[in-house]
Amino acid sequence: MTFEQGDWRVRAACRDENPDRLFVRGAEQRQARVVCFGCPVRTECLAEALDKRIEFGVWGGMTERERRALLRRRPDVRDWRALLEAARRDSTEPNEYQNTYRAS
């Protein structure tokens, strides 16, 4: 599987959702992110949020608090897209991304 290039948003599971549903505050984000769990572009979405340091809303199935925690744990990562792409290529073995993602 290749990393989705171009405009991955057209395949987003939330494409037809009311944006207000994902851009909620606090504990409501944990419920809102359920729509992400079956999203075919979840990884692309998460990479964009992490690389651009997007602070608000649910992206890639992670709340803003979870993303902040991940960024604090991995200050060494400068290119999340590259890291996640590599993880996807090597998805048959446990890797850094999967371990990091599970820990959140």
62 contacts ligand SF4 (rule: CB under 6 A): no
- Tell me the three state secondary structure of residue 62: strand
DSSP annotation of 40: T
Alpha carbon distance, N-terminus to C-terminus of the chain:
24
Residues 6+ apart with CB under 8 A from 43: 3, 4, 60, 84, 88
- List the one residue from 29, 41, 63, 97 that touches ligand SF4 (CB under 6 A): 41
Give 44 or 76: the residue with its C-beta nearer to ligand SF4: 44
* DSSP β-bridge partners for residue 59: 62
32 contacts ligand SF4 (rule: CB under 6 A): no
Contact range with ligand SF4 by CB under 6 A, out of 6-14, 64-72, 78-86, 93-101: 6-14
61 contacts ligand SF4 (rule: CB under 6 A): yes
Question: Is 34 annotated as a binding-site member?
Answer: no
Extract the tokens encoding 24.
């909620």
Binding residues for [4Fe-4S] cluster: 14, 36, 39, 45
